[in-house]
Amino acid sequence: MTARYFNRLFARRRTAALISALSGLLASRPVAAITPDNPGAADIRFTINAAAAAKPISPYIYGMNHFAGSALTNPVTLDRLGGNRWTGYNWETNASNAGRDWYYQNDTHMGTGAAGNAVKGSLTSAANNGRALVVTVPISGYVAGDTAGPVTRAQALDHSRFKEIVPNKSDKYPDSSFSLTPNRNDGWVFTDEFVNWVEATRNPSTPVFYSLDNEPGLWGEPLPTNWQPGVPTSVQPSPQGRTHGALHPYAPTFAELRDKTIANAGAIKDVNPNALVFGGVGYGWNDFTTLQGAPDLSSYDNEISHPGGNEPGEMHFYEYLLQQTAQAEAAQGRTLMDVLDLHWYPEAQGGGVRITENNNTAAVVAARLQAPRSLWDPTFTETSWISQFSTQGPVKLLPRVQRDIDDFKPGTKIAITEYNYGGTNHISGGVAQADALGIFGREEVFAANFWNLHGNAQSQFASGAFKMYLNYDGDGGRFGDTSILAGTDRIAESAVYASVDSIDPSRVVVVAINRTGAAKSAGLAITHDERFDYAEVYRLTSASPNPVPGANIPINLVNAFTYEMPAYSVSTIVLRQAAEGDFNRDGQVNAADVSQWATGFGKTAGAAFSEGDNDRDGDVDGIDFLGWQRALGDASASASGAAVPEPSTSWLAMAASAAVFLRARRGTSCF
Kindly list the averaged pLDDT for each block of 10 residues, start to end, along the chain of length 671: 43 47 43 89 98 97 96 97 98 96 94 98 98 98 97 94 98 96 97 98 98 97 84 58 92 98 98 98 98 94 88 97 98 98 98 98 98 98 98 98 98 98 98 98 98 97 98 98 98 98 95 98 97 96 98 96 98 94 83 85 86 86 87 66 49 50 43 32
Q: How far is CA 401 from CA 242, 306, 419, in A?
A: 25, 12, 16
Q: How far is CA 189 from CA 319, 349, 589, 652, 658, in A?
A: 30, 43, 69, 82, 80
The Cα 23–Cα 548 span in angstroms is 40
Q: Which residues 6+ apart lie within 8 Å of 370 measured at CB?
A: 348, 380, 382, 492, 515
The Cα 312–Cα 490 span in angstroms is 28
Protein fold of 44-55+479-576 = Immunoglobulin-like (2.60.40)
**pLDDT value, residue 659:** 47
**pLDDT value, residue 9:** 38
Q: Which CATH class is domain 58-90+108-139+168-177+188-217+251-347+384-419?
A: alpha beta
CB atoms within 10 A of CB 290: 17
pLDDT, one tens digit per residue, over 434-480 is: 999 999 999 999 999 999 999 999 999 999 999 999 999 999 999 99
158-177: burial string, b at 16+ Cβ within 10 Å, e else? ebebbbebbbbbbeebeeee
**Residue 413 identity:** K
Tell me, yes or no, if 215 is annotated catalytic.
yes
At residue 197's C-alpha, the angle toward residues 195 and 201, to 5°, is 120
Class of residue 576 by CB neighbours under 10 A (exposed 0-12, middle 13-18, buried 19+) = middle
The answer to whether the CB of 513 falls within 8 A of the CB of 494 is: yes
**pLDDT value, residue 134:** 98
**pLDDT value, residue 10:** 39
| DSSP code for 457 | G
Q: What is the 3-state secondary structure (H, E, C) of 353-384?
A: EECCCCCCCHHHHHHHHHHHHHHCCCCCCCCC
pLDDT, one tens digit per residue, over 304-332 is: 899 999 999 999 999 999 999 999 999 99
The Cα 277–Cα 534 span in angstroms is 44
Where exactly are the structural domains of the chain? 3-30+589-666, 44-55+479-576, 58-90+108-139+168-177+188-217+251-347+384-419
Q: How far is CA 461 from CA 31, 393, 426, 547, 572, in A?
A: 42, 30, 6, 10, 15
Dihedral in degrees, nearest 10, Cα atoms 397, 399, 404, 410: 130
**pLDDT value, residue 636:** 63
Q: Provide the β-strand partners of residue 165.
A: 189
The Cα 68–Cα 125 span in angstroms is 6
Whether pTM exceeds 0.75: yes
**DSSP for 468-534, written as a single string:** HHH-TTSS-----SEEEEEEES-TTTEEEEEEE-SS-TT-EEEEEEE-SSS-EEEEEEEEBSS---E
The HSE-up count of residue 9 (CA atoms within 13 Å, CB side) is 6
Dihedral in degrees, nearest 10, Cα atoms 247, 249, 254, 259: -50
The answer to whether the CB of 583 falls within 8 A of the CB of 607 is: no
**pLDDT value, residue 16:** 47
CB atoms within 10 A of CB 501: 15
**pLDDT value, residue 571:** 99
The Cα 15–Cα 18 span in angstroms is 5
The Cα 219–Cα 215 span in angstroms is 7
The Cα 271–Cα 105 span in angstroms is 32
The Cα 336–Cα 583 span in angstroms is 58
Class of residue 464 by CB neighbours under 10 A (exposed 0-12, middle 13-18, buried 19+) = buried
Q: How far is CA 283 from CA 292, 347, 419, in A?
A: 10, 12, 10
**pLDDT value, residue 104:** 93
The Cα 119–Cα 110 span in angstroms is 9
At residue 196's C-alpha, the angle toward residues 193 and 198, to 5°, is 115
The Cα 370–Cα 368 span in angstroms is 5
**pLDDT value, residue 13:** 46
| DSSP code for 180 | S
The answer to whether the CB of 321 falls within 8 A of the CB of 280 is: yes
**pLDDT value, residue 418:** 98
The Cα 79–Cα 64 span in angstroms is 5
Output helix, strand, coil percentages for the chain, rounded to the nearest 5. 35, 20, 45
The answer to whether the CB of 96 falls within 8 A of the CB of 86 is: yes
CA 649 to chain centre: 56
**pLDDT value, residue 2:** 45
**DSSP for 114-172, written as a single string:** STTHHHHHHHHHHHHHT-EEEEEE--SSEEE----EEPPHHHHHHTTTEEEEES-GGGT
Q: Which residues 6+ apart lie within 8 Å of 657 measured at CB?
A: 622
**pLDDT value, residue 168:** 98
Task: Please identify which of the residues 193, 215, 443, 580 carries the catalytic annotation.
Answer: 215
**pLDDT value, residue 301:** 77
Instruction: Give the whole-number percent of the chain exceeding pLDDT 90.
Output: 77
The answer to whether the CB of 57 falls within 8 A of the CB of 483 is: yes
